[in-house]
């Protein structure tokens, strides 16, 4: 499958989204320093650099790449970007072996209607084994976004994380939550019950900006829409 150039979408003065044919990554700016939340598709390092430059961002100032989980459309270009620009790669300790290629990524527990979605996702390039420089755990505070809190949210994968920027009301959820077309429970989970519990924990953070791994960023009535989506069925 030919790689399509990612589209860079401005969400706010310090926040952009990199949209790929499947999935997306996010860009946070602190002054001239750049943090990537996920890394899009394998083979996309050149295109990501070009997109950043088009927004006035210097890819050589990518300080860190934080992976929300170990799936191919999120790990993608992390290794190449890190080698090229000297960035640090961070992932939760439980997903780090998948990122490094030491263990196979666990297969999701698919509902019948999820099979076509899963097959479509496999059309994105397989991520190469990628180093992890720092293994994360729940509650750690990272040095960007005026204090980014790691929230371990297992279920989509064992080591799925969200990143909460409480000073800015921004929450990056990875694939635990989606916004297709509105805020909803994500798909393709290894443990659906665990992922739903993680979604409810994230909803309790009441973000004003919700950045999911799939779907448009949510910036209006965000906390209320998220809380409604996380309500128990029935």
pTM (2 d.p.): 0.97
Q: What is the pLDDT of residue 52?
A: 97
Number of domains observed in the structure of the chain: 1
**Residue 164: CATH number of its domain:** 3.60.15.10
Structure-token match 């191919």, residue found: 72
The pLDDT value recorded for residue 119 is 96
Does some domain include residue 234?
Answer: no
Is the pLDDT assigned to residue 183 strictly greater than 80? Answer: yes
Q: Are 161 and 69 in contact (CB under 8 A)?
A: yes
pLDDT 10s digits, 68-86 = 999 999 999 999 999 999 9
What pLDDT score was predicted for residue 232? 82
Residue 1 forms part of a structural domain = no
Domain assignment of residue 2, yes or no = no
Calpha distance 193→197 (Å, rounded): 6
pLDDT of residue 5: 80
Residue 131, judged by CB atoms within 10 A of its CB (0-12, 13-18, 19+), counts as middle
- Domain membership of residue 13 (yes or no) is yes
């Amino acid at each position: 499958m030919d790689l399509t150039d990612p589209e860079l979408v401005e969400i706010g003065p310090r926040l952009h989204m990199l949209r790929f044919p499947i999935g997306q990554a996010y860009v946070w700016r602190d002054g001239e320093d750049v943090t990537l939340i996920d890394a899009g598709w394998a083979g996309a390092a050149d295109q990501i650099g070009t997109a950043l430059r088009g927004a006035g961002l210097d890819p050589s100032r990518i300080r860190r790449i934080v992976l929300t989980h170990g799936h191919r459309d999120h790990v993608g270009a992390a290794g190449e970007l890190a080698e090229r620009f000297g960035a640090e790669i961070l992932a939760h300790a439980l997903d780090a072996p998948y990122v490094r290629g030491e263990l196979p990524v666990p297969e999701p527990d698919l509902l019948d209607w999820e099979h076509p979605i899963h097959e479509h996702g496999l059309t994105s390039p397989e991520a190469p084994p990628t180093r992890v420089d720092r293994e994360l755990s729940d509650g750690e505070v990272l040095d960007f976004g005026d204090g980014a809190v790691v929230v371990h949210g297992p279920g989509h994968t064992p080591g799925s994380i969200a990143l909460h920027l409480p000073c800015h009301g921004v929450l990056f959820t990875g694939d635990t939550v989606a916004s297709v077309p509105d805020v909803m429970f994500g798909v393709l989970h290894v443990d659906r019950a665990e992922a739903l519990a993680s979604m409810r924990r994230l909803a309790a953070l009441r973000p004003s900006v919700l950045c999911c791994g799939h779907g448009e960023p949510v910036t209006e009535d965000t906390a209320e829409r998220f809380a409604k989506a996380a309500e128990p069925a029935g």
